[in-house]
Chain A
Amino acid sequence: MTDGWFDLIATATRETLVMVLIAMAVTIPLGLLLGVLLLITGRGQILEQPVANKLIAAVVNVGRSVPFIILLVAVIPLTRALVGTTIGTTAAIVPLALATIPFFARIVETSLREVPGGLVEAAVASGARRRDVVSKVLIPEALPSLVAGVTITTIGVLGYSAMAGAVGGGGLGDVAIRYGYQRYETDITIATVVVLVALVQLLQFAGDRLARRLSHT
């Protein structure tokens, strides 16, 4: 094994976590906004806007259809414009967030759709504005399901972040490619996989616990 392999894995793990956390910090508010808009502009909803709804849905669908590995390369000019570089952890965050926002938006939409229409009606009958319906009914009622959605999405980003390593994005994927694959150091590959498995287990465990704690049904 390469000397200092522990430091190598530790640094890579830190890079991966930074990528995932920042990508999620961008994804959660923007995906939530898009998901809420997707739902409330739909037919029979509180802000029915067929044209806007179709437009948002089309953008989200296009975003979700592009394979991540292609997106990674395709957005290089945008990445350079936004963060000034096209390699390294910071650069990887741009395609990561771009791929994840539409995915999370659909998850949010699905979660919010599960809130019974009667609860929205009860609020509207009490004189609620649209923003009251979103902030006091839709989001709080869907919260356990939204937390489960954040868990799924975060684990997805973790997987994507490893792929970002393939194009010089840093992190565990980068280490696995450069040391494990290109230098035939299989034990390094195994070490990265072990860390990734542990991270996924931890995320799922924490997400499940939080969702359960928030649920009062």
Chain B
Amino acid sequence: MLLASMLEIQQLRKVFPNGVVALDGVDLEVPDGEIVGVIGRSGTGKSTLIRCVNRLEEPTSGRVLIDGQDVTAMRGGELRATRRKIGMIFQHFNLLTSRTAADNVALPLEIAGVDRKERRRKAHELLELVGLGDRVNAYPAQLSGGMKQRVGIARALASDPAILLSDEATSALDDETTHSVLDLIRTINAELNLTVLLITHEMDVVRRVCDTVALLDAGQIVERGRVDEVAWHDSRLGRGLRVEAWPPRDERQAA
């Protein structure tokens, strides 16, 4: 079966004003309904890459196509409408402390001008989906890290996005919580056929949840492939996927 691409990144470059080249010609495809992981050490440009997709960061050159539409050419209202179709979750959750879980989930709907009754219905439904049906009126300060990220996921799903961006979403969580959040992302991917692009520095995350993986190093994608195939390759990704620790021990000694 030929898969259409939900997201296509073409020759993306990002040079910061201080001259640092964060992305140096990245090409990446995220097929419809798949979970694609981009892994790399800190400072390799992962975060910049994912932030260029919804233009939280302005790319210097290159194109970002969502469902065939060039995001880099969009302005004003068109860009905002497209952002509504791109859900995003963050390492530090970024929930509003002044709002309850339900009101946090309702924020994107409020921005989109959905009426109060419908916002409420949808927020409750989504919190139910992420397993927080009993905590709709809790404030973020009353929730654990894992629960906060579940609220973050529910918020990201509020405007029925076509794709979910996950920016180190489990990096602030312990192992057990990480696993349950990743399982939730898997479930949502399967049930809602939601395409996911996630970035991480943890091989365990790739191993657990991704269909495809790409290794980003110094602003370029240096290896890529399907997780189940790459795992057998004698490559940095293959070795990384086979051992518990990342980066692989032999590489750390070589360096």
Extra contacts besides A125-B56, A141-B96 (18): CB < 8 Å: A121-B90, A122-B90, A122-B94, A122-B155, A123-B107, A123-B111, A126-B83, A126-B84, A126-B158, A126-B159, A127-B108, A128-B111, A129-B111, A132-B110, A136-B96, A141-B98, A216-B97, A216-B140
Measured CB to CB, the closest approach of chain A to B46, in angstroms, equals 16
**Is B141's CB under 8 angstroms from A132's CB?**
no
| Chain B contacts for A214, CB-based, 8 A | 98
Asked if B81 CB lies within 8 Å of chain A CBs, one says yes
Measured CB to CB, the closest approach of chain A to B104, in angstroms, equals 9
Measured CB to CB, the closest approach of chain B to A135, in angstroms, equals 10
- Chain A residues within 8 Å of B, Cβ to Cβ: 116, 118-119, 121-129, 132, 136-137, 140-141, 143, 214, 216-217
Which chain A residue has the least Cβ–Cβ distance from B142? A216
Asked if B86 CB lies within 8 Å of chain A CBs, one says yes
A123 to B111, CA, bound (A): 9
Measured CB to CB, the closest approach of chain B to A66, in angstroms, equals 36
Given A136-B107, A140-B96: A127 touches B90 (CB 8 Å cut-off)? no
| Chain B contacts for A129, CB-based, 8 A | 80, 111
A121 to B88, CA, bound (A): 10
**Is A127's CB under 8 angstroms from B141's CB?**
no
Interface residues on chain B, number (Cβ under 8 Å): 27
* Residue of A122, A124, A125, A137 with most partner-chain B CB within 10 A: A125
**Is A136's CB under 8 angstroms from B90's CB?**
no
Which chain B residue has the least Cβ–Cβ distance from A128? B111
**Is A126's CB under 8 angstroms from B141's CB?**
no
| Chain B contacts for A127, CB-based, 8 A | 80-81, 83-84, 108, 111-112, 159
| Chain A contacts for B149, CB-based, 8 A | none
Q: Would you give the 0/1 interface string for B87-110, flagging 1 where the beta carbon is closer than 8 Å to chain A?
A: 010101011111100000001101
Measured CB to CB, the closest approach of chain B to A89, in angstroms, equals 37
A48 to B139, CA, bound (A): 32
A118 to B159, CA, bound (A): 20
State which residues 106-145 of B face A: CB under 8 Å.
107-108, 110-112, 139-141
**Is A121's CB under 8 angstroms from B92's CB?**
no
| Chain B contacts for A217, CB-based, 8 A | 97, 141
Asked if B72 CB lies within 8 Å of chain A CBs, one says no
Could you jot down 8 A-B contacts, CB within 8 Å?
A122-B94, A127-B80, A127-B159, A128-B111, A136-B96, A136-B110, A141-B97, A216-B139
A214 to B99, CA, bound (A): 11
**Is A216's CB under 8 angstroms from B108's CB?**
no
**Is B88's CB under 8 angstroms from A122's CB?**
yes
Asked if B54 CB lies within 8 Å of chain A CBs, one says yes
| Chain A contacts for B92, CB-based, 8 A | 116, 118
Which chain A residue has the least Cβ–Cβ distance from B80? A127
Given A126-B159, A127-B108, A136-B107: A119 touches B83 (CB 8 Å cut-off)? no
**Is A124's CB under 8 angstroms from B99's CB?**
no
A216 to B155, CA, bound (A): 19
Measured CB to CB, the closest approach of chain A to B6, in angstroms, equals 17
- Cβ contact of B56, chosen from A116, A119, A121, cutoff 8 A: A121
**Is A140's CB under 8 angstroms from B111's CB?**
no
A214 to B97, CA, bound (A): 11
**Is A140's CB under 8 angstroms from B90's CB?**
no
**Is A121's CB under 8 angstroms from B83's CB?**
no
Measured CB to CB, the closest approach of chain B to A141, in angstroms, equals 5
A132 to B108, CA, bound (A): 10
| Chain A contacts for B94, CB-based, 8 A | 116, 118-119, 121-122
| Chain A contacts for B96, CB-based, 8 A | 119, 136-137, 140-141
| Chain B contacts for A140, CB-based, 8 A | 96, 98-99
| Chain A contacts for B107, CB-based, 8 A | 123, 126, 136
**Is A125's CB under 8 angstroms from B111's CB?**
no
